[in-house]
Structure 1
């Protein structure tokens, strides 16, 4: 029982911990690069976690603080409490809560916490009279493991888009993943086999942007854990297999007004898009190169962002085809009006990626940017001259160019905050430089015996 200093939701969590027989709590947060971290504590520490927080060494976390600034505190969000579905509940149960990171020297939110960066984006939206909804579509591959339990790139099926068993041999794995997600509070809408062999997609219902980012982090953890129970390795690497479609994380975005109306819908418009939706879209297009550094943050991301494999590389929007960067999906009801940014991939930090999308769109609204006409033709079939005629630019072709674009875009760089932007750019510059000096197997195969 508590001493009366807890909120109603916090007390409900304590009651559920007792009812479910939870022995351990995983206090979850993410580093700047999007890697999920956790501090595990006995469940009896839950009340202390709520009232005092749990301290940890921030200097051990990528991009957080230096050794002389190491003390950080985790403040759990009770709304995110969920019992982990892959533990044997007859033996003992474990649960997790997603945490905000507090700077102990000031008692304020830590500016290097990606969740805080997203919260600041949502504060900006709220000041403009909006709430933000988001819905991602993360794709992933399932690979066989070798005899030592290490990942291979051997797929377990030869299925294709929407195939069924026996071609899609992973349907049982997806089923168990869905059960696990539902146990953790997800509203799963659909799942199916994707285009490439061994590639899958599970869609969950849209939610407010913060919950959605939390869900992406949780989704990746659940998928990996349950795949491992089936002796498969699940990866969100954007392009693990050459010459096939890579994995994306198309992200749907919409704004709602304070009275609950969809600010993106206008039934009198040809495309059912309001002026706010058009300006938001224009902002996404304007800041697309800088967003790319955050939404496509690995060297491997740019092996996916190439023409010919259905990934968007052209900075344009359309209401009918998927060759453009932004698509306006058909909406059955006004509340479903939204725009879909198709470039992000599932290796991104969901908090930072969604934050940059929101800031870009809001900047479009604040600056009253003019949205270009939609491109209804297949841009993949355009030559360079025709793209120039239509004024269609191309996304950065590699991580180095994307980071350059981020540093050159004051609005998006500032949206990350000085701490995150500086640490993120530093890490990604180093990653790209290491890539440039590495010698790949492709180079050895092509040149070693030729020259």
Structure 2
């Protein structure tokens, strides 16, 4: 126990200055859902030294049963996050310990393990995530509708539309004001390509910080939306005829000491401004893309966002804005990986519903495998892949992304690099996700009734 940590005294003073009465001690389960205990502010030191206790058997993916010793969630002092929308309460991200040892089934503990390995190689992993989400309301029959109290968000192509944005301005301002108060560096918000869909962007950071922030962002969006009689959902595809929600990942490796971006090379012969290290990292990501898909798009519903490559499939606006093939290119949104500017890449496959700790651990491990083995990603694609069919892509040697959770799980199970990135969580992940797929596959939905009930 570190009772002499100088940060404790400073933080106690800050709690007093910020008039914090309660602490949310928070971690995530295997799915990325936030789990918390509410602790009086007077319990700061115990929450840091020994942690708040949880029964692991009550939580998905913790590798425990009802007989197991307590999970002790120890707060990370650097994650102090006052809740501007709930005065007097602050959140701390926590890591799980059992009998005084880091619990390997804790997603945050696991991400720290992979980041430490990268740091031992001289790298830090900088990441920005762009969360897309819908605002919806629940109807009396259990269905959902887009939240649109002013009845103005009904365009076929609503992206960036002023009326659609202004109808949600109160919600967006509340979110932005909160994030700005937290110092996250919000730089833009917009109405996305689907009706009632939005995105808020904040500055990139170290992967652990970004995972913490995405987790808190989803927590906060849910609470703020309630005040507007709405539900903020990060379900990837809540409507069959609208664009889905991603959490596009922007990334680069930096020098662990100086912070210099190691992906930049202005003399890049491919003209993208990317270094050899950057291309090798990318090569690893592309090689392991099918297995990564299972972790970055971990629900049945994710694959209704990633379907096919046709421009109009599943989107009344005309485009899905979601890739279907394992590819990279220049500043080109039809690719899995685009290069928006020299020195960093953006992966457009990642789902809004991912567990960011697991997704980023898998991603970094795949990239480092590319660096270790000098994997060449090949030449960039510069065309419109929405116009290319499966036959053409196969002839060009460009593989298709998994088209179902079941297919992605097969790739994950067969990929030792991505499995190792999750440590012992990998077995729990496979077991729970196989169960999820079987449960889904056993359902009979309305479409099947309409299609087959009187077909013969």
Q: In which range does the TM-score fall when normalised by the shorter chain?
A: over 0.9
Partner of 2:314 in structure 1? none
Matched, 1:127 2:120: yes
Query: Which segments of 5 or more consecutive residues in structure 2 lack a partner in the other structure?
Result: 312-319
Give, in angstroms, the shift of residue 146 of structure 1.
4.6
Partner of 1:115 in structure 2? 108
Partner of 1:340 in structure 2? 346
Q: 2:75 touches 2:92 (CA, 8 Å); kept in 1?
A: yes
Q: 2:330 touches 2:340 (CA, 8 Å); kept in 1?
A: yes
- Summarize deviations over 1:382-420 as a string: whole Å, max 9, x none: 233321222100011100010110000011001110x20
- Aligned-residue Cα RMSD (Å) equals 1.8
Give, in angstroms, the shift of residue 147 of structure 1.
7.2
Matched, 1:161 2:190: no
2:425 to 420, 423, 437: 420
Q: 1:437 to 1:267 in 2, by over 3 A?
A: same
Query: Which segments of 5 or more consecutive residues in structure 1 lack a partner in the other structure?
Result: 332-336
Partner of 1:334 in structure 2? none
Q: 1:314 to 1:4 in 2, by over 3 A?
A: closer
1:311 to 316, 322, 345: 322
Give, in angstroms, the shift of residue 84 of structure 1.
1.2
Distance, in Å, in 2 between the alignment partners of 1:125 and 1:256 is: 10
Aligned ranges for residues 255-270 of structure 1 at < 5 Å? 255-257=253-255, 258-269=257-268, 270=271
- Summarize deviations over 1:16-72 as a string: whole Å, max 9, x none: 222232222110000111111001111111122123322221121111111222311
Distance, in Å, in 2 between the alignment partners of 1:183 and 1:246 is: 29
Q: 1:18 to 1:147 in 2, by over 3 A?
A: farther
- Summarize deviations over 1:87-131 as a string: whole Å, max 9, x none: 2x3xxx111111011121xx2210000001111111121111111
Distance, in Å, in 2 between the alignment partners of 1:391 and 1:166 is: 41
Give, in angstroms, the shift of residue 166 of structure 1.
6.0
Matched, 1:137 2:134: no
Distance, in Å, in 2 between the alignment partners of 1:190 and 1:427 is: 37
Distance, in Å, in 1 between the alignment partners of 2:123 and 2:2 is: 35
Aligned ranges for residues 171-320 of structure 1 at < 5 Å? 171-257=169-255, 258-269=257-268, 270-306=271-307, 307=309, 308=311, 309-320=320-331
Give, in angstroms, the shift of residue 12 of structure 1.
2.0
Give, in angstroms, the shift of residue 424 of structure 1.
0.6
TM score, norm. by length of structure 1: 0.93
Partner of 1:430 in structure 2? 435
- Aligned residue for 2:341, secondary structure, equals coil
Give, in angstroms, the shift of residue 426 of structure 1.
0.5
Q: 1:187 to 1:147 in 2, by over 3 A?
A: farther
Q: 1:292 to 1:23 in 2, by over 3 A?
A: same
Distance, in Å, in 2 between the alignment partners of 1:428 and 1:56 is: 23
Matched, 1:406 2:398: no
Q: 1:98 touches 1:214 (CA, 8 Å); kept in 2?
A: yes
Partner of 2:317 in structure 1? none
2:341 to 322, 326, 330: 330
